[in-house]
Amino acid sequence: MEQPFAITLQVESSLANHTGSWRVERPQYVNLMPPCNNACPAGENVQKWLYTAEDGSYEEAWRALIVENPFPAIMGRVCYHPCQTVCSRAQLDEAVGINSVERFLGDLAIEKGWSIPVTAPSTGFKVLIIGAGPTGLSAAYHLRRMGHAVTIRDAADLAGGMMRFGIPKYRLPRNILNAEIARIEDMGVRFQMNHRVDNVQDAIDDGFDAVFLAVGAQIGKRAYIPAGEAARILDAVNVLHDVADGEAPLLGRRVVVYGGGNTAIDVARTAKRLGADEAMIVYRRTREKAPANDTEIQEAIEEGVLMKWLSTVKHADAGVLKIERMELDEKGFPQPTGEFEELEADSLVLALGQEVDLSLINNLPDVEVREGTVHVDSNMMTGRAGIFAGGDMVPAERTVTTGVGHGKKAARNIDAWLRKEKFEKEPIPKVVEYSDLNPWYYSDAPHAVRPRLEGARRASNFDEVVQGLDESTALYEARRCMSCGNCFECDNCFGVCPDNAVIKLGPGKGFEFNLDYCKGCGICVTECPSGSIIMIPEKS
Amino acid sequence: MSDTSVKFYQVGSFAVGNRLLPAAAGSVQSDMERTNALTSGHRACQGCGEALGARYAMDAAMRAADDKVIAVNATGCLEVFSTPYPESSWRIAWLHSLFGNAPAVATGVAAALRAKGRSDIRVIGQGGDGATVDIGFGPLSGMFERNDDVLYICYDNEAYMNTGVQRSGATPAAARTATTQAVGPEPGNIFGQGKNVPRIAMAHEIPYVATATVADLRDLETKVARAMEFRGARYLHVLVPCPLGWGSQSCDTVKIARLATQSGLFPVFEAERGEVVSSTPIRQKVGVEEYLKLQSRYSHLFSPKRRDDVIDKLQAAADRNIKRYNLMPEEAGEL
């Protein structure tokens, strides 16, 4: 080709040289499993909704969240956030305050009145859900979104289950609970309250195509404690239920709660709020071994709840308890020491765990019971085809979030069963490890702390203890997310390629590799902050 | 967290781009319409730091000069891999010259533009450390001394890589090259030799001298843009790791440049008329060993026998830089 004077080479004529042929490995964009998503009992796509919230698209973020969980405002208060325990950011500075952002989105949705349209066409199937607690409500929500007709029956006058009758108001204000339940009702779920189901078979005969059992575990476990006639011994579940009903039980000035779980803590903190001078937890093991969430224990201590670890109640009498000191053996089990002391107590509240009321399945011999809980297969179906069970009725961690997760899982399996299909869970991609990330690129930013009421002030009333974040702090917290294993369009790959072999497709569209020129150096992999690129061998 | 007006953007300006910031605040390299001055199909090795550094610098210069740039290139890797006849990877006006005369040719181009009254067109001379520190050093010093209106950019990979990794005046102490055995009993380069061209450039008291690396894109782009605000001789010294010559993984090029800065071995600063006016603080301090052990040119410091004496001397050099350029201002303030 004829060139002008002194010009010997055409501009970018090197494009004829396809250096991609040098490559023995090629980069590939991947979507891996962030640790938070992997840990969420409700299966939330935490990374995705945080990512969506990061540019202020709160409604879109909320809608991404509720694909998995209909209760962001409730979760943002009562969930023990296992997502934060495993958050990668904890290894850089502090875990992302996922729970507080979730609450911010949930509260915003209530404030703005965002509703959830049912867009799926009606399937004609009718599903009965027994129990209006977190598990049943979650199942109802998901089944309704899939287009099924859903009816919930519950013995109580109001829906919510343990969220209403177990969790005290200072942790979950009732206006929040009511708002998130009302949203499900607005979707067309039929609530039949004050409708105790004693016999599931009768309910099936009402014309339902499938039934989901989610009545929870509401019977307080009994422990034999020798007691004098005048001893006042109450059950934790009943105490909390009565308080929720506005019928505060008489507990006296000095209240001892026996047990180390979250229910025990709830009762002790409630007793303080009802005016007890002294509320004390007695538990046979240590604080470290107590099943209660550590934040709950800490908040209780701040409010003046006393803790008596390594102790058992041997005898109860009017106004006085006999306590035996325990010690841990080498295996970590508490063993009696034979050392006793007396403790003044006007009442003793037992919080030793809860059992499932199994009477409603008495007429269903196909439904198998194992160790006090209902046995279900991996699809959450009982031995009787079309009858599913979940939540506290089946063996699982007994938290609201786990219940919500069960509800979703059951809904998917019920839906598949009704369609005569089998629900296939998508395979879980590799879970991101901290070493997969390049944390250099994340700006330094410590965790934003949610304001809390002062311990002494809050112990005197049922006001909500933990306050929410305002918008700017919620946004800050969302932006602390490192987006583990998922591209967040930081442009690093596009920038660091020495061969200009990364094509930027534009905002929201991501990137592509130009394999005609990519030499497979792998700089994009090393410099990707979120570990969203891997190298794979070329086929030889 | 009482401050409710927190401005926080996830990766801030550490990454190439940031979707949370307006496009105008983005780097040149995050721009889909960037020049790509050095485009695909060039024959640099996998993971070449010089190819990366040259595109970063020239794209930034093109934006700063409204796309009116003439580049004069010295012989070296950059020239050989970008323009093997009959191909060129350049998308800018670009002149070939010899190994030793790029600064002089750039001076000539600047003089011609002055004669034509084209002050809008800016001239950039560029070359590797061999062309800059050794072979072209005379013309470079002359260009500085005459204060010719040229920005000269040295892409420093610390040896003659194109011809087979021979030692240059920029090869650091203790680094092994193909020719370092000849100048001492150890396989590595001896201590106490070599030239620090950024300091020599400062000694000419030219308007602007700066150092940068391929590990900090925003810093590099800012310095190119700043250099283009001046008229007269300007010098930019960019550290560009070389996987072939340094014996490092091709995927670690940017990481190694980052470790060079975070250990203090390569101080990042800028100077105006002979005075240091700013330096980039170390963000995550590392010992020199973190940097050395990723490169086989230093492997003789770790096997067959660990040479703590040599590593300590290199650490002392890094510590001297930290003090000299105030790379850890918070720590200095505490003392």
3-state helix, strand, coil in chain A (%, to 5): 35, 20, 50
Residue A4: exposed, middle, or buried by beta-carbon count in 10 A (0-12, 13-18, 19+)? exposed
Give φ, ψ of B206 to 5 degrees.
-75, 165
Is the per-residue pLDDT at A220 higher than 50? yes
| Whole-angstrom Cα Rg for chain A | 28
CA distance A248 to A243: 5
In 3D space, the residue among B147, B203, B163 whose CA is nearest the CA of residue B81 turns out to be B163
CA distance B196 to B158: 11
Mean of the pLDDT values across residues A243-266? Answer: 92
Strands B208-213 and B234-239: parallel
In 3D space, the residue among B192, B205, B197, B148 whose CA is nearest the CA of residue B170 turns out to be B197
- Write the residue in A10, A472, A507 that is nearest to B19 by C-beta: A507
Q: How far is B10 from chain A (nearest CA, A)?
A: 5
Structure confidence by residue, pLDDT tens digits, B23-40: 888 899 999 999 999 999
Residue A534 forms contact with B (CB below 8 Å)? no
The angle at the Cα of B85, spanning B82 to B88, to the nearest 5 degrees, equals: 35
Q: What is the ipTM of this complex?
A: 0.95
| Residue contacts between A and B (CB atoms, under 8 Å) | 182
A311 by DSSP, 3-state: which?
Answer: strand
At B183 the pLDDT is 62
CA distance A184 to B9: 35
| Whole-angstrom Cα Rg for chain B | 20
Mean of the pLDDT values across residues A266-282? Answer: 94
- Write the residue in A473, A490, A517 that is nearest to B11 by C-beta: A490
At B4 the pLDDT is 37
Domains of chain B: 31-334 (3.40.50.970)
- Cis preceding-peptide flag for B86 (omega within 30 of 0): yes
Task: Please give the full DSSP string across A373-396, using - where no structure is assigned.
Answer: EE---TTSB-SSTTEEE-GGGSSS
- Write the residue in B5, B14, B89 that is nearest to A443 by C-beta: B14
Q: H helices within A245-358, ranges in order?
A: 262-273, 294-302
A493, two tokens = 């790959």
At A465 the pLDDT is 84
Among B10, B29, B83, B285, which would you mutate to test the A interface (most chain A Cβ atoms within 10 Å of its Cβ)? B10
In 3D space, the residue among A105, A96, A108, A121 whose CA is nearest the CA of residue A37 turns out to be A96
Asked if residues A159 and A181 have their Cβ atoms less than 8 Å apart, the reply is: yes
Asked if residues A504 and A511 have their Cβ atoms less than 8 Å apart, the reply is: yes
**Is this model's pTM higher than 0.80 or not?**
yes
- Write the residue in B87, B251, B253 that is nearest to A14 by C-beta: B87
CA distance A356 to A130: 14
CA distance B102 to A50: 52
Q: H helices within A289-346, ranges in order?
A: 294-302
Mean pLDDT of chain A: 93
Query: CA of A472: which chain B residue's CA is closest?
Result: B4
At B335 the pLDDT is 46
CA distance A328 to A234: 28
Query: CA of A16: which chain B residue's CA is closest?
Result: B41
Is the per-residue pLDDT at A459 higher than 90? no
CA distance B123 to B204: 19
pLDDT > 70 fraction of chain A, expressed in percent and rounded: 99
Asked if residues B98 and B74 have their Cβ atoms less than 8 Å apart, the reply is: yes
Ranges of chain B whose pLDDT falls below 70: 1-7, 182-184, 332-335
Q: Which of residues 446-485 of A touch B (CB under 8 A)?
A: 448-449, 470, 472-473, 475-476, 479-481
A386: left (phi over 0), alpha (psi -120 to 50) or beta: left
- Write the residue in B30, B42, B83 that is nearest to A495 by C-beta: B30
Residue A244 CA: distances (Å) to CA of A168, A261, A278, A463: 7, 19, 21, 14
Residue B90 forms contact with A (CB below 8 Å)? yes
Beta-carbon separation of A523 and B17 below 8 A: no
At B182 the pLDDT is 67
Beta-carbon separation of A490 and B1 below 8 A: no
Structure confidence by residue, pLDDT tens digits, A508-534: 999 999 999 999 999 999 999 999 999
Asked if residues B176 and B297 have their Cβ atoms less than 8 Å apart, the reply is: yes
Domains of chain A: 5-31+487-537 (3.30.70.20), 36-115+428-449+468-478 (1.10.1060.10), 126-219+355-418 (3.50.50.60), 225-351 (3.50.50.60)
At B3 the pLDDT is 36
Residue A440 forms contact with B (CB below 8 Å)? yes
Q: Which residues of B touch A490 (CB under 8 A)?
A: 11, 15-19
List of residues 6+ apart from B22 with CB closer than 8 A = none
Q: Which of residues 513-532 of A touch B (CB under 8 A)?
A: 514, 516-517, 519-523, 525-527, 529
Q: How many CA atoms lie within 13 A of B189 on its CB side?
A: 23
Query: CA of A498: which chain B residue's CA is closest?
Result: B52
Diameter of chain B measured on Cα atoms: 64
Beta-carbon separation of A499 and B42 below 8 A: yes
Residue A455: exposed, middle, or buried by beta-carbon count in 10 A (0-12, 13-18, 19+)? middle
Asked if residues A447 and A477 have their Cβ atoms less than 8 Å apart, the reply is: yes
Q: Which residues pair with B279 in a beta bridge?
A: B269
Q: Which of residues 226-265 of B touch A (CB under 8 A)?
A: 243, 249-255, 258
List of residues 6+ apart from B20 with CB closer than 8 A = A54, A55, A479, B9, B10
Beta-carbon separation of A9 and B82 below 8 A: no
At B25 the pLDDT is 83
Residue B107 forms contact with A (CB below 8 Å)? no
B26 by DSSP, 3-state: which?
Answer: coil
CA distance B284 to B290: 12
Is the per-residue pLDDT at A201 higher than 80? yes
In 3D space, the residue among A358, A393, A366 whose CA is nearest the CA of residue A199 turns out to be A358
At A456 the pLDDT is 66
Is the per-residue pLDDT at A102 higher than 80? yes
The angle at the Cα of A267, spanning A263 to A271, to the nearest 5 degrees, equals: 170
At B290 the pLDDT is 98
Give φ, ψ of B213 to 5 degrees.
-140, 170
Residue B20 forms contact with A (CB below 8 Å)? yes
List of residues 6+ apart from B83 with CB closer than 8 A = A9, B89, B90, B94, B96
